[in-house]
Amino acid sequence: MTDELHQAKRPMSAALAGPYGHPFHPILVTVPIGAWVASLVFDVASQFVSTPGFLAMGSVWLIGIGVVGALLAAMVGLLDLLTIPRGTAAFRTGLVHMGLNLAVTVAYVVGFFWRQNSYGQADAVALGPLLLSAVSLAALAVSGYLGGKLAYHYGVRVADESTQAAGYRR
């Protein structure tokens, strides 16, 4: 294993980013992903029910929870990114992944404040904020694909093959 690959598998700080072979970033990203998917479901559902206000209000809360979760995941993800040697394909992929995630988070912050004008009203979610959420979620899916490429293709923060092989010995 090259020194660069070995470096990308080891945490910068095990206490902050998770121990070798078990990074915290993948578990933390489930919070914003789940919250933002659920918020879009609430947005769409608000278009079809007789009392959409509760769903619209729930969507605002879910967006806020997702933003807080995204900021936590971003801090830990940055630590993982800094373990990747600069000038490599993995590092460039990590930069695009991070840039997309930051853009998505900013879009959800914008959506959160855009919805504040109608917060507490009994109306369904307006088309503009609903479309912003849908586009943001699509961008998040692209970023998630890149995050998967970092882990599954490039092996960033994944245990090396000799460590993995121990799980298959009888």
Task: Please give the pLDDT value at position 20.
Answer: 77
Residue with token string 């998040």 = 140
39/20 Cα distance (integer angstroms): 34
Which of helix, strand or coil describes residue 54?
helix
What is the tens place of the pLDDT at every residue in 47-84? 999 999 999 999 999 999 999 999 999 999 999 999 99
**Nearest partner of 95 among 82, 108, 112, judged by Cα:** 82
What average pLDDT does the structure give for the chain? 91
CA separation (Å) from 161 to 104, 107, 154? 34, 39, 12
What is the tens place of the pLDDT at every residue in 99-111? 999 999 999 999 9
At position 5, the amino acid (one-letter code) is: L
- Mean pLDDT for the stretch of residues 162-167: 83
* Opening angle at CA 86, ends 83 and 89, nearest 5: 100
Cβ neighbourhood burial of 108 (10 Å; 0-12, 13-18, 19+): buried
Task: Please give the pLDDT value at position 5.
Answer: 67
12/122 Cα distance (integer angstroms): 48
